Structure 1
């Protein structure tokens, strides 16, 4: 069972993703509220995959992604963004994000993206 870290500053979004992932037989090993927590939790938990919100306080998703990829080049990270954040999503993909999912989350799209990224 793949171990997943969810990173989003909105509790509702973390809950929504957590429910989707649990239904999809994935194990949610942690939830972070900002980019700083994401980096710390990644180092501690070494999850198989991270879902990373783009816009967060303290350290945004792109900064956290870059920091994680610097220390763990094999990290698998999927960005989560609201419509209208294309520029940051492009920057994230260039920095090593494997895919992105758009909010509000479409359950089948989330599972499809995670399955594809984990298979790589």
Structure 2
């Protein structure tokens, strides 16, 4: 069972990832969106292609917990490269789009 996400913008992000819909994913981000993975800044386009959207990745998010009005998630993130891992995602929402997200291993 997945946890409900109360922020509609974050909900669109998760839905786009799970649908493998790169167009919807891009539409929910600001043009200058940034991201980090395990505390390191990453090139958003290169990272998302490698970790989410390439046929070898096929990324999926199963939300385990949502807090901070739906802008902080604990997710069982699965892709075909790394398998399933518990991750934490923190989103900065600007208007009706995401301007930044940070992801990494969730604390045990």
TM superposition score normalised by structure 2: 0.30
Point out the structure with the larger helix share: 1
TM superposition score normalised by structure 1: 0.28
Q: Higher relative contact order at CA 8 Å, sep ≥6: structure 1 or structure 2? A: 2
